[in-house]
Each structure stands twice: as structure tokens, then as C-alpha cells.
Amino acid sequence: MESGRLSEQVKTPLVPNSDAGSRKKLIAEDEAAADSLIYLVINFSKMSEKFSLKPVRMAVPHPFRDVGDEDLSVCIITKDPQRFFKDLINPLQLSSVTKVVGISKLRSKFKPFEAKRMLCASFDLFAADTRIIPMLPKILGKTFFEKKKQPVPVNLTSTNPEEIKQEIQEAVEATYFFQTGGSNTSITVGKSSQTPEQLAANIEAVIKQLAAKLPSGLSTIRTIHVKTKESAALPIYVRDVLAKKASSE
């Protein structure tokens, strides 16, 4: 998959008012105004047998989340004691981090289903100390996984405030690959407020990192589409079509 070719494939449908002939526009004007999330929808040629509770972090050159954004709400789940981590994280003054909760407090305070549902709906993103990730599915329940809000991993082993600040920033401003064990997955790559060039760069970065994570690289990917929550899925990569085109040239 050539970088330049991908950029051209991506840019036209990402422009709300561009003249793309018969091609449908990905972002309608109302979605552009609402700053809609944009996703890659990836179809694998065979069902993956790998399932993991730990989302795979992928850095993007143009983050669509800002750890300093007061309109973003992030909850960080920590090991015990809760007070130690609150005292470590709160002074960092990360505007988006509005709650720090220890695992014991999480287990006791949010035990009822309704409490878990309300917690899930109260934050845009959940992050958790990597060391407790395996414990969280049983504590949080299926709601978090159905909503794709399972906590993303963050390394909180350091006691250096600057290292913790950088780690949280990188965790919040990255995107994630959720290994569901199925033949399809979706990865958030940006927002409709970003430029086509920024979105294309994010998509290229995600595809390269995904290829590095997959045992057989891109050869296991059948199709890649780009879409918003409300739009139709527009293809940017179709393996069989590209293979036939290459063989005929």
C-alpha cells in the first residue's frame, strides 16, 4: 500500500464540499459541524483467533484528543492505595483527567449494574494501570466492552511526575486497536474538524502500525473502509481489486 496513493484515495471523500464526481462524500455538513469521529473499518481475510483484553496503543501524528482539553473527560483507574495515585496525578493539572479511582473503590462503589452503566456514560475515555487490566472485565462488566470503552493501558510504575504526565498524555492522545478475535475491527483515526491531509497522515500511521502488529502483516487484510458513525463506509483499500489491477498492468 503506497503512501502517496493512499493519501489521494483518502483526501477526496474527506472533503465536505469537494467535487468528487459520483463518489459520495464521507462527511456531511451537519457532521462536520458536530466534529464527528472518523473510523477505519478493517475486514480480515480470515477470522483472527487472537483475543486480548488489552487494547494496542497506536500513536497518530495529528491527535484527535487533547489531554489539556477541558471538554474531554478521562477517568484513570489505579492500583491501591488510591490516595497515593491521586496525590501523584492531580498536581499534574491535566484538564481532561477529571477522576482518579483506585481499584478497591471501583469494586465497592460501582458494584450495581446501574452504577457501572452510569460510570461508563460519564467519561469519554477510561485508562487503567497496566498491572490491573486483567482484573477489570469482571469488575466493570460487559457494558464497557459493548460500548468499546474498556480502559486503555497506562504505565503508572514511575514515581517521577514528568514521566507520569508524558505517559498519560501519550495514552490519551493515541488511538487503539481492540483485538476482538473477530473478522472485523474499527479504529478511530480522527475527527471531521481535521484537514484531509491530517486525516490521511493518521490513517497511514495506523495502517503501518497495524501491519507491524499482525503476524502476516497486511496480507491478512481484505478491505479497509473509512466512515463516520452516520455515513456509508467508503473503500480506500481492496486487496483483491488492487491485486488484479497490478497483474493486468
What distance in Å separates the CA atoms of residue 69 and residue 157, rounded to the nearest whole number?
A: 25
22: pLDDT confidence band, cut at 50, 70 and 90? very low
Q: Does 20 have pLDDT greater than 50? A: no
Q: Is 199 exposed, middle or buried (0-12, 13-18, 19+ CB in 10 A)?
A: buried
- pLDDT tens-digit profile of 88-102? 999 999 999 999 999
Beta pairing class for 125-129 and 74-78: parallel
The pLDDT of residue 248 = 54
- pLDDT tens-digit profile of 105-148? 999 999 999 999 999 999 999 999 999 999 999 999 888 988 88
Percent of the chain with pLDDT over 70: 80
Q: Does 73 have pLDDT greater than 70? A: yes
- Residue carrying the nine cell digits 472533503: 15
Sign of CA dihedral 102, 105, 108, 111: negative
Amino acid in the structure at residue 133: I
Tell me if the bond preceding 81 is cis, omega within 30° of 0.
yes
The pLDDT of residue 235 = 87
Q: What is the pTM of this model?
A: 0.82
216: pLDDT confidence band, cut at 50, 70 and 90? confident
Where do the DSSP E strands lie in the chain?
37-44, 56-58, 74-78, 97-102, 125-129, 152-154, 175-177, 184-191, 221-228, 234-238
List own/partner pairs for 156-164 with CB under 8 A and 24 or more apart. Answer: 156/78, 156/79, 156/85, 156/88, 156/129, 156/130, 156/131, 157/131, 159/88, 161/88, 161/91, 161/92, 164/88, 164/89, 164/92
- Domains of the chain in start order, with CATH, are 3-54+178-248 (3.30.190.20), 66-172 (3.40.50.790)
The pLDDT of residue 11 = 56
Beta pairing class for 175-177 and 56-58: antiparallel
